[in-house]
Copies of this chain bind each other. A is one copy, B any other.
Amino acid sequence: MNPDMASAFVNPRFEDVVELFRRSLAEGMVMILVGECSVEYKGRGVASLESGSRIVIAKPDGSLLIHAATSVEPVNWQPPGSKLEIRIEDDNLVLSSTRKAPYENVIARFISLSLVAVCKLEIKPRFKVEIGEEAIREAVLAEPSLIEDGFKPISIEKPVEVGFIDLYGLDRDGRLVIVELKRVKADVEAVEQLKTYMDSLTDSYGSVRGILAAPSITYKAYMKLKEFGLEYRKIDIAKCISILTSRRRQQRKLGEYYGDKS
């Protein structure tokens, strides 16, 4: 079988899996196991899973994933940098993945295997684009009226004692405005975060306005916001995206014009 491609074996013998592991994982391949296993975890917490049918994926970076039939989240896992060992013990195929600092160990005990597969995945990361909070900030900087007419952003990510302010600037009357941006519905925590920033600034700056900018806000959060004398500004995410895409299109044109290939 072409070693650059995948190999797969149905109902493999445990001995063959151990052998396959030695030959493939060392070569930076991914190994996929399907079968009945129990799982024990010890480390930051403890967890113990009775035997059940699961998919186990061992990646070349040391990540280990144990998935059941449902859910996006693995029922158990081990982070990158962990070291995997495979052995046969009491007629079971035992995978033991360990990392130190903090010490963590996962042991999966297979009583039966219906499938093992190995395959090579290129590690080189590919290009990825995303719209996140950072992108919304970009959009507001490009179009400050998204916050309010006359708003002039001064800088982003001003460090204050307690953390980082998303965005701040001056309103049309020259008053300092602190803006907390949220990509999703704002909750009480977002309000408290803004309040904390406000408190740490009013000491030194006197009157400051605080604006929570988000696509929506929970009822409790809105009540708390009013109680604190802060303001809510609805942000249209779709508008942010269209602002960004048109802006990025222009930048690309500029880049091409100047021969910028970065």
- Using a CB–CB cutoff of 8 Å, the interface residues on chain A facing chain B are 1, 5-11, 28, 30, 32, 34, 44-55, 57, 59-61, 63, 65, 67-72, 74-75, 77-80, 114-115, 117, 119-132, 162, 183-184, 188, 192, 196, 241
Contact = CB atoms under 8 A, between A and B. Distances in A.
Q: Which residue among A32, A79, A117, A162 has the maximum number of chain B CB atoms within 10 Å of its CB?
A: A117
21 contacts: A8-B115, A30-B55, A32-B55, A34-B119, A46-B130, A47-B131, A49-B126, A49-B127, A49-B128, A52-B122, A52-B124, A53-B121, A55-B121, A59-B69, A61-B70, A63-B71, A65-B72, A68-B121, A68-B125, A70-B80, A72-B78
Contact of A53 (B70, B77, B120): B120
Nearest to A119: B34
Contact of A46 (B71, B114, B129, B192): B129
B122 A69 contact: yes
B127 A50 contact: yes
Contacts of A115: 5-6, 8, 117, 119
